[in-house]
Amino acid sequence: MKSSELAKSVKVEITYQHYIALQMIDLHDFSLVKKKVAQEHGIKDAKHLDTGILYLKRYYAIHILDPLNPPAMSLPVDPFWHTHVLYSEDYIGFCNQVFGQYIHHIPLLFEDKVAVAFVTDMYNHTYKRHEEIFGKIDERFFPRDATIGLCCSPKSGSRLEGFVDVALFPEDKLMRLLPSSV
């Protein structure tokens, strides 16, 4: 079995269950996502596309490693997630295989100041968690400043029940207060 590069990049101790889930993320074929993002956004730089996929994988990994606190997506990686969601059969199969459930996408309406405040908190929490899990962050793909990187989130309050028992981090009380519509 091929070793998981994603699991190797994690800076915290993980369980075997985490390792298997990270391996599934790592081995998933994102080639169509990469091609479609390149086509739709006019990106010709292969390294940029590869890094975008890496940060999408990290986003998925944070769901696994911190299942009590739903992560927010960064604006530069959002096209990769949107594109993956558009390949609906693949995305649904991926979610069911890796997470045991579908990860819903909730667009953020910037005129909704309450939602923006909540998702900003989610974003800042995700940035901190990303740094703890993976170390150095490429600011081009996950800007520290939420006003630059903020875009959308998964449905809050949605926990990955299959990973709650092996959660590496405690539930953030603030994340528990998020309305489910965000």
In a domain, 144, yes or no: yes
- Tell me how far apart the alpha carbons of residues 120 and 116 are, in angstroms, rounded to a whole number: 6
**88 domain-assigned:** yes
Q: What is the CA radius of gyration of the chain?
A: 15
DSSP strand pairing (105-107 vs 150-154)? antiparallel
In a domain, 111, yes or no: yes
pLDDT of 182 reads: 46
Cross-strand partners of 53 = none
| Confidence at residue 1, expressed as pLDDT on a 0 to 100 scale | 44
132-144 burial, b at 16+ Cβ within 10 Å, e below that, comes to bbbeebeeebbbe
Identify whether 56 is part of a domain. yes
Q: How many CA atoms lie within 13 A of 170 on its CB side?
A: 3
Which residues does 163 contact at the CB level (< 8 Å), separation at least 6? 17, 18, 21, 64, 65, 67, 99
pLDDT tens for each residue of the chain, 182 residues long: 456 799 999 999 999 999 999 999 999 999 999 999 999 999 999 999 999 999 999 999 999 999 888 899 999 999 999 999 999 999 999 999 999 999 988 888 889 898 888 889 889 999 999 999 999 999 999 999 998 888 876 665 555 666 666 677 776 655 554 444 44
DSSP-assigned beta bridge partners for residue 73: 152
Whose CA is closest to 61, among 103, 118, 116, 120? 103
Is 69 within the bounds of a domain?
Answer: yes
The total number of structural domains in the chain stands at: 1
Q: Give the other-Cβ count within 10 Å of 64's Cβ.
A: 25
Domain that holds residue 70: 5-176
Question: Going by C-beta distance under 8 Å and a sequence separation of 6 or more, which residues neighbour residue 152?
Answer: 72, 73, 78, 105, 106, 107, 108, 119
Say what the pTM is: 0.88
pLDDT at position 148, please?
A: 86
Q: In this predicted structure, what is the pLDDT of residue 40? A: 97
Residue 181 lies in a domain: no
**134 in a domain, yes or no?**
yes
What pLDDT does 144 receive? 95
Q: Is residue 182 part of a domain?
A: no
DSSP letter string over 2-15? ---HHHHT--S---
